[in-house]
């Protein structure tokens, strides 16, 4: 196996730089009132409606207690609706409300704009190279 130290250091350096580039350490993602975890939870509900909290936990490996607090806040703020599962009445299925769709669409558009600005500085050839490298990394790490 290749000497791990340079590779590990390169990956950690990339992670630090990418985290800074897209503002993941900011308390509010994309100048919104939502953290990265909250935005991801909204995404999972949007992408998988109706979805159970258990399914969200499986998708993003998030702490059950933290997810419960976030979902409660989303419900109080009118972003999500809960209804009993037709299969198991003990389980609730989550959907976005109109307000939830508005918040999700705003976050999604801001994220797309952020990436558009980031890659807008690159030539078409550089964008193709970036796309190919992302595909290669994904194929290696996300098998």
What's the pLDDT at 3?
Answer: 61
24-31, long-range: CB < 8 A, 24+ apart: 29/107, 30/107, 30/110, 30/111, 30/114, 31/110
- Asked whether the beta carbons of 47 and 102 are under 8 A apart, the reply is no
What is the rounded CA–CA span in Å between residue 63 and residue 57?
7
Regions of the chain with pLDDT less than 50: none
pLDDT at site 20: 86
What pLDDT does 2 receive? Answer: 62
pLDDT in tens, 29-45: 787 889 889 999 999 99
- Report pLDDT for 1: 57
User: Which residue segments constitute the domains of the chain, with CATH numbers given?
Assistant: 27-141 (1.10.10.10)
pTM for the structure as a whole: 0.86
Alpha-carbon separation of residue 57 from 73, 104, 106, 132 (angstroms): 17, 19, 24, 31
Q: How far apart (Å, rounded) are the C-alpha atoms in residues 9 and 40?
A: 27
């Amino acid at each position: 196996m290749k000497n791990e130290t340079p590779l590990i250091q390169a990956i950690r350096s990339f992670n630090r730089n990418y985290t800074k580039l897209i503002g993941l350490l900011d308390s509010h993602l994309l100048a919104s009132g939502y953290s990265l975890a909250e935005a991801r939870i909204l995404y999972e509900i949007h992408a998988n409606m109706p979805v159970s909290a258990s399914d969200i936990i499986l998708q993003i490996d998030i702490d059950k207690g933290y997810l419960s607090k976030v979902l409660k806040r989303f419900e109080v703020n009118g972003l999500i609706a809960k209804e009993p599962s037709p299969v198991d009445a003990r389980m609730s299925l989550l959907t976005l409300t109109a307000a939830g769709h508005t918040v999700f669409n705003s976050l999604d558009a801001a994220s797309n704009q952020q990436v558009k600005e980031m890659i807008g500085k690159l030539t078409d050839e550089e964008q193709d190279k970036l796309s190919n490298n992302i595909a290669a990394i994904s194929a290696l790490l996300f098998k």
